[in-house]
Amino acid sequence: MSQKDWFEKDYYKALGVPKDASQADIKKAFRALAKKHHPDSNENDPKAEARFKEVSEAYDVLSDEKTRADYDETRAMATSGFRMPGGFGGGGAGSGQGGGATAFDLSDLLGRAGGFGDVFGGVFNRGGGGASTGARRPRRGSDIESGVTLSFDEALTGLTLPLRLTSEAPCAVCAGTGAKAGTTPRLCPTCQGAGQVNRNAGGFAFPEPCRECRGRGMVVDDPCPTCHGSGHAPSTRTVQARVPAGVKNGQRIRLRGKGTPGENGGEAGDLLVVVTVTPHPVFGRSGDNLTIDVPVTFDEAALGADIAVPVPNGGTVKVRLAEGTQNGRVLRVRGKGVRRKDGTNGDLLVTVQIAVPARLSSDARDALKSYADATAGQDPRAELMDRAKDAKSGGA
């Protein structure tokens, strides 16, 4: 139990007593609940165990009037929207406001407060809050977003490509110290190098970043002219980004640990690569399938034929048209689509489009005329007319 818990936990609610409950009432409520949820009478019931722990913890705090008063004070702060001051690491200007606020971890500040007496000592393991210093605490680097534009074929096969990234890094001139060449930073006299100072609030000390050194623990008398004493400088680095086969337009790829390096031994952030895929003049995509429209002649469709259809990355595949293939028919060529994660491939979906010649040679015209004579009895619209008529009579 640390005082971090106090911000989050309602011990009165845990015991089911009002905030002004007497010690006798608290004891009574606790005894009843502890008996009900005791591990001895609730074997292998994690819910009861958690509840028992919660009740014991609440009683620990509320049964001691002094601890209870501290708890009440902490809770009053928590419910009034109290915010910890953020901004370790020199991100802010003077005021102590800075980009570090989101990475701020309350438990590190309050963890040192230590535990309290446990009437059921030994029943459960308690995670003790170890002391740590906020300014030296490992911090995860931030995530970076970057974009790449790939050709359609590159997206299908996947590739590894170098990405140039610009991010904040230690200044190369002063090696991150912020001090001019030939000088060294000295220990901050205000915080003695700790990077933080204690401020009294609500009966116990809250550490906050030292203003003199902006949480760095060191002060610079002659600032480095390159970084103006910040110790940071934009740095460009190249990251090899592996784009998997079959990536889609608009997809985000997360490359773990390729973002901003962490501080004080913290892990690096991630690099998010947003992929833009250039449309292909011939192929389209539908999930893991590729699509293509293929013109065929009337005679190929009517008589049946083997036609060559292009596949991505060059080459063709032979597709058999059955006799009497209709316009708009979709033929499936298995395994010629997009590579999936499991190593299999989607399909190539070929849409048949019957092409009508805009011009005919006289031989072709003669041949078509004899074809028309030979099929004079066939009216392709006869059924259509019948259905239109049926619909009309049915509606009247």
Q: What whole-number distance in Å separates Cα of residue 282 and Cα of residue 312? A: 9
- Nearest one of 304, 76, 100 to 195, comparing CA atoms: 100
Per-residue contact string for residues 227-246; x = within reach of Zn ion by CB under 5 A: x-------------------
Q: Are strands 144-150 and 271-277 parallel, antiparallel or unpaired?
A: parallel
Contacts of 327-331 with CB under 8 Å at 24 or more apart are 327/301, 327/352, 327/353, 327/354, 328/352, 328/353
From candidates 226, 291, 297, 351, binder to Zn ion by CB under 5 A: 226
The answer to whether residue 220 forms part of the interface with Zn ion (CB under 5 A) is no
Tokens of 208: 């906050």
Tokens of 40: 């001895």
The answer to whether residue 213 forms part of the interface with Zn ion (CB under 5 A) is yes
Contacts of 387 (CB under 8 A, 6+ apart): none
The answer to whether residue 218 forms part of the interface with Zn ion (CB under 5 A) is no
The answer to whether residue 169 forms part of the interface with Zn ion (CB under 5 A) is no
Tokens of 179: 């001090």
Q: Which helix (DSSP H) or strand (DSSP E) does residue 377 occupy?
A: none
Nearer to Zn ion, 108 or 212 (CB): 212
Contact indicator for 333, 345 with CB cutoff of 8 Å: no
- Nearest one of 30, 32, 81, 84 to 57, comparing CA atoms: 30
Q: Total residues contacting Zn ion (rule CB under 5 A)?
A: 12
From candidates 132, 142, 190, 249, binder to Zn ion by CB under 5 A: 190
Nearer to Zn ion, 174 or 301 (CB): 174
Q: Which stretch binds Zn ion (CB under 5 A): 218-226, 249-257, 343-351, 373-381?
A: 218-226
The answer to whether residue 174 forms part of the interface with Zn ion (CB under 5 A) is yes
Q: Which stretch binds Zn ion (CB under 5 A): 167-175, 253-261, 277-285, 302-310?
A: 167-175
The answer to whether residue 133 forms part of the interface with Zn ion (CB under 5 A) is no
Nearer to Zn ion, 212 or 267 (CB): 212
Residues facing 339 on adjacent strands: 345
Q: Which stretch binds Zn ion (CB under 5 A): 126-134, 190-198, 254-262, 315-323?
A: 190-198
The answer to whether residue 224 forms part of the interface with Zn ion (CB under 5 A) is yes
From candidates 72, 118, 212, 263, binder to Zn ion by CB under 5 A: 212
Q: What whole-number distance in Å separates Cα of residue 152 and Cα of residue 30? A: 68
Residues facing 204 on adjacent strands: 201
The amino acid occupying position 115 is G
CB of 230 to Zn ion, least distance (A): 7
Tokens of 86: 């953020």
The answer to whether residue 171 forms part of the interface with Zn ion (CB under 5 A) is yes
Q: Which of residues 28-87 bind Zn ion (CB under 5 A)?
A: none
Q: What whole-number distance in Å separates Cα of residue 251 and Cα of residue 305? A: 39
Positive/negative CA dihedral, 381, 385, 390, 395: positive
Residues for the chain: how many in total? 396
CB of 227 to Zn ion, least distance (A): 3
The answer to whether residue 321 forms part of the interface with Zn ion (CB under 5 A) is no
Query: Given the structure tokens 């002063």, which residue do they identify?
Result: 174
Q: Which stretch binds Zn ion (CB under 5 A): 148-156, 174-182, 252-260, 294-302?
A: 174-182
From candidates 191, 255, 271, 321, binder to Zn ion by CB under 5 A: 191
CB of 97 to Zn ion, least distance (A): 17
From candidates 110, 148, 210, 243, binder to Zn ion by CB under 5 A: 210
Nearer to Zn ion, 26 or 227 (CB): 227
CB of 263 to Zn ion, least distance (A): 16
Nearer to Zn ion, 38 or 211 (CB): 211
Q: What whole-number distance in Å separates Cα of residue 235 and Cα of residue 81? A: 38
Nearer to Zn ion, 188 or 241 (CB): 188
**DSSP character for 263?**
B
From candidates 148, 188, 220, 349, binder to Zn ion by CB under 5 A: 188
Q: Which residues bind Zn ion (CB under 5 A)?
A: 171, 173-174, 188, 190-191, 210, 212-213, 224, 226-227
